[in-house]
Chains A and B, each alone.
Chain A
Amino acid sequence: MSDTISFRQEIANLLYASEGEPLNTCIQCGTCSGTCPVAPYMDYTPRQIIAMINQGMKEQVLESNTFWYCASCYHCTVRCPQDINITDLMYALKRYSIWKGQHKEGLIGPTFSEAFVKMIVRGGRSFEPVLAPSYIFSFGMRELLLEVQGATELLLKGRLPLLPPRIKRLDNFKRMLGRIIPMGGLE
């Protein structure tokens, strides 16, 4: 037995607060992956990811797009016959991969998430235009044009804000988040 804790244990620790049952109770029935609306787009189905975690296949899990493709619809979670909270697992893998700075190349998810979080830390509220650069560069030209088209139309319909919204007690708000995580980690 080595001193370093196994990948399987690390993920279990990340899920300690989750209401679900531990991953080692998975019976590999495939209900999650049969249910998942995004499964056909994933490198591995959620069921396979659980098996891989239980096998300690850290590199392959982190390199997969599976958890970035989870849309948090919770359909797998309500159907799982073993009460495993698969959606929470996907969240945990996203966090883990961002912390470790290790994820599949060319994914929008990680960049987008970080941009989104920074935006809220700055203003307390979400402001769609700030998000644009983070994904426009990652998509192709066609998507860029489509996105701009969509955005222009939204603007014309009065559905896109021009100025970033801010909450009033922003200083308190920032200090509050500072008590949870050092600001430097986000800015």
Chain B
Amino acid sequence: MEKKERIGVYVCHCGTNIAGVVNVGEVSTWAAENLKEQGVVIARDYKFMCSSLGQELIQKDIKEHGLTRVVVAACSPHLHEQTFRNACKGAGLNPYLSELVSIREQSSWVHTDKVAATEKSKALIAGGVARVIHHEPLEPLRVPIHPATLVVGGGIAGIQAALEIANAGYPVYLVEREPSIGGHMAQFDKTFPTLDCSACILTPKMVEAGNHPNITLLTYSEVEKVDGYVGNFVVTIRKRARSVNEELCTGCGICWEKCPKKVVDNIFEAGMGTRKAIYVPFPQAVPKYPVIDRENCTYYIKGTCKACEKFCPTNAIDFAQEDQLLNVEVGNIILATGYELFDARRITQYGYGRLANVFTSLEFERLSNAAGPTGGNIVLRDGKTVPKVVGIVHCVGSRDKNYNEYCSAICCMQSLKFAHLVHERTGAEVYNFYIDIRTPAKGYEEFYHRLLEEGTHFIRGKVAEISDAVRLPGEEGKLIIQVEDTLTGNQLRVPVDMVILSAGLEPRRDAKEVANKFGISCSADGWLIERHPKLDPVATVTEGIYIAGCVQGPKDIPASVAQGAAAAARILGKIQQKEIALEPVRASINQDQCSGCRICNNLCPFNAILFHEDRMVSEVNPALCQGCGTCVAACPAGAISGTGFSNEQILSQIEGLLLLNIPKKETVA
């Protein structure tokens, strides 16, 4: 070692989070004494290194002690690496000459043996010190940000996000799988707890999104492929053939009026109503153009019919239309693909699909919707009988290890809303069967109280089964809900005319695929994972990819809207900076050492390595390189080095972790 680095070591107590298990004083004393050889000139411990006082401490030392390297032993680099880099930068030290060693997530929080945790922390710090010697001053890579944004999913979260960005003056591509935007909210009748008409508050936003000059609406479309990286994504979108020429169509509706083929609508009407083979899912659909459902259209099945074409006044029907593949360039992406309803058939003992008058929550939404199949009349499956007694079952498929362990968050309030609507429109007796009533938001508990005052029965007990097996007088022709009233310890058989299953929310069936496509990950449940559960709920670990709404976990409309807006705000902040700083973790090839064997060429999944035929050497394009380092590890000539993760850095870290070349002095406990 020619020139010895001057290294400062800072051990954080993190209150008692670290100091409660790791003897931080001993660790810093040890570092000061035993790591002198390595260049440690000062080691301190402090209550909260990340606090402004903690950072100032480091900055003061850099200046006063002429530190050339800084090692902080605190929490995970995923939390505070940037904080300490900024602190160094503030004191005039290149930020990349610091190293954050995690002794919280990797030591104090996961070990109970204080001595072992303290010893391990020392080793981790020794590793960090050995590594930091080989750090090099780096400058972040700066890349321009494309001002356009892709929003995937046209539910309320996606619409909100798209409008926020478009209103700020930047272009948005809004991609929706279904023929219309609107999402689940378009299916609802009322929204809790205010009982606003769902369509009344949603439709204006849909129309605004549909007409907005900055929004390119791509409905009946799906994302096929995502290339590139933050600031510069290239997205391939499949725009499925509508079989309707959007330029000619006026949305007059004659085609679906004349279409002779009725189809049960399992999507928008939740199987409760029908549509035609050429259709718009609902009257307020945006865009107004219909699509032909080719699986059910008589022309596509039998080759004849064409009723729609005959009656179309503008010749807009185009049976030969084909799918289009569009490539769009965007700087950022928001995923707002929403949720799917838990399939209540899976709980056999609740009888859904077997007992006619057991309904799911979504079916009930359509039943109570004035624009729905019964015109808003709450009636049994026969289409006419008004129920006299209705049972609403909470937690269907939620809070149950046999199905989904999580709480679906919206079902309590949704059930209360149903109870209110049933009571108001039919005067029926309503029973709510719940495990716990969860109403943790503004105005929610008050709504619960309103229901109590309305005389709704609340029975605390998870429903055991629903059957039509009559045993007692008064049960004939009824559905019997068997449950323990856990507040009295009595087993009850409650005869009702109608059961509503408040089914939980589940991740989209293709959530995993979508996550892979966009390079982010799903939790074990299948919800997409945010960057930080508390402090960064809309970003993901992949720069430039954001999530909003139920795709991140079950939530209600206000929370979805808030996330959509939050994701948009994050992106607008980035766009306005016009360029983005990227971690300078990149591979580079020493052209003198490269033997031209081309092993690395095929290893790179981003095609970042070019081969120069003329000179017979390979070269890394830093704009495409993502820094994984696979080529570095594979180069037989050792010609490729990885910035930030060089062989010297890692080999030295190994030595440090194994406490090689460190004098074994007696330490004072």
B residues near A33, Cβ cutoff 8 Å: 461, 464, 484, 486, 489, 491
A29 closest partner in B (C-beta): B462
- Closest A residue to B347 by beta carbon equals A79
B489 contacts A44, C-beta separation under 8 Å: yes
For B483, the chain A residues whose CB sits under 8 A away are 30, 34
Interface stretch (choices B178-186, B397-405, B619-627): B397-405
B349: Cβ under 8 A from any A Cβ: yes
Measured CB to CB, the nearest residue on chain A to B482 is: A34
Cβ of A79: which chain B residues have Cβ within 8 Å of it? 349, 402, 464
In the complex, A81 Cα to B460 Cα: how many Å? 15
The stretch that binds B, out of A11-19, A35-43, A159-167, is A35-43
Hey, which chain A residues are within 8 Å of B482, CB to CB?
A: 34-35
Does B463 have its Cβ within 8 Å of any Cβ on chain A?
A: yes
Interface centre among B402, B435, B465, B486 (most CB of A within 10 A): B486
The closest CB in chain A to the CB of B401 belongs to A83
- Give chain B nearest CB distance to A52 CB in angstroms: 11
Instruction: Pick from A27, A30, A40, A45: contact of B399, CB below 8 A.
Output: A27
A82 shortest CB reach to chain B, Å: 6
Closest to B486 in A: A30
Fill in one digit per residue for A18-32: 1 if any B CB lies within 8 Å of its CB, else 0: 000100000111111
The residue on B at minimum CB distance from A21 is B401
**Cβ-neighbour of A35 out of B400, B435, B464, B492 (below 8 A):** B464
List of A residues within 8 angstroms of B464 by Cβ: 30-31, 33-35, 79
Expressed in whole angstroms, the Cα–Cα distance for A34 and B483 within the complex equals: 4
Residues on A with C-beta less than 8 A from B402 are 79, 81, 83
The answer to whether A34 touches B465, judged by C-beta atoms less than 8 angstroms apart, is yes
Set A21, A27, A34, A82: member contacting B484, Cβ < 8 A: A34
B502 CB → nearest A CB, Å:
14
- Among A29, A36, A48, the one with the most B-chain Cβ atoms within 10 Å of its Cβ is A29
Instruction: Give Cα A36–Cα B465 distance, bound, in whole angstroms.
Output: 11
What residues of chain B lie closer than 8 Å to A45, measured between beta carbons?
484, 489, 491
A21–B435 Cα distance when bound, in Å, is 19
Query: What 1/0 flags go to B211-225 for Cβ under 8 Å of A?
Result: 000000000000000
Complex formed: what's the CA distance from A39 to B399 in Å? 23
Interface size class of B (residues with CB under 8 A): 20 to 34
Question: Are A48 and B489 in touch, CB under 8 angstroms?
Answer: yes
Interface residues on A, range: 20 to 34
Which residue in chain A gives the minimum CB-CB distance to B491?
A39
Whether A47 is near chain B, meaning CB under 8 Å from some CB there, is yes
Q: Which of A35-93 contact B (CB under 8 A)?
A: 35-36, 39-40, 44-45, 47-48, 79, 81-83
Q: Which residues of A contact B463 (CB under 8 A)?
A: 31, 34
B404's nearest neighbour on chain A, judged by CB, is: A81
Please tell me which one of the listed residues B460, B462, B485, B489 contacts residue A31 in the complex, with CB atoms under 8 A apart: B462
B300 to chain A, nearest CB (A): 46
B491 touches A36 (CB 8 A): yes
Within 8 A of A (CB), among B439-486: 460-465, 482-486
- Which residues of chain B from 468 to 520 have any CB-CB distance to chain A below 8 Å in the complex? 482-486, 489, 491-492
Q: Are B489 and A35 in contact (CB under 8 A)?
A: no
Chain B residue nearest in CB terms to A25 = B401
Q: Which of B399-420 contact A (CB under 8 A)?
A: 399-402
Interface positions, chain B 109-166, Cβ under 8 Å from A, are: none
Residues of chain A within 8 A (CB-CB) of B400 are: 81
Q: B486 touching A81 by the CB < 8 A rule? A: no
B residues near A40, Cβ cutoff 8 Å: 491
Of A36, A48, A81, the contact of B462 (CB 8 Å cutoff): A81
Contacts A28-B486, A45-B484, A48-B489; A34 near B462 (Cβ below 8 A): yes
Instruction: State whether B399 touches A81 (Cβ < 8 A).
Output: yes
- B462 CB contacts on chain A under 8 angstroms: 29-31, 34, 81
CA distance A36 to B485 in the complex (A): 13
* Residue ID in chain B nearest A75 by CB atoms: B464
Q: How far is the CA of A168 from the CA of B235 in the complex (A)?
A: 78
B212 to chain A, nearest CB (A): 45
Residues of A within 8 A of B460 (CB): 30
Which residues in B have their C-beta under 8 angstroms from that of A27?
Answer: 399, 435
A32 and B491 CA atoms in complex are apart in Å by: 10
Beyond A27-B399, A34-B462, A35-B464, 18 extra complex contacts between A and B, CB < 8 Å: A27-B435, A28-B486, A29-B399, A30-B461, A31-B463, A33-B464, A33-B489, A35-B482, A39-B484, A40-B491, A44-B489, A47-B486, A47-B489, A79-B402, A81-B399, A81-B401, A81-B462, A83-B402
Q: List 29 A-B contacts (CB under 8 A).
A: A21-B401, A27-B399, A29-B399, A29-B462, A30-B460, A30-B464, A30-B483, A30-B485, A33-B461, A33-B464, A33-B484, A33-B486, A34-B462, A34-B465, A34-B482, A34-B491, A35-B464, A35-B465, A36-B491, A44-B489, A45-B489, A45-B491, A47-B484, A79-B349, A79-B464, A81-B400, A81-B401, A81-B402, A82-B401
- What 7 A-B pairs come out closest when comparing CB atoms? A34-B464, A81-B400, A30-B484, A29-B462, A33-B484, A30-B461, A35-B464
* A residues in contact (CB < 8 Å) with B: 21, 27-36, 39-40, 44-45, 47-48, 79, 81-83
B residues contacting A by CB (< 8 A) are 349, 395, 399-402, 435, 460-465, 482-486, 489, 491-492
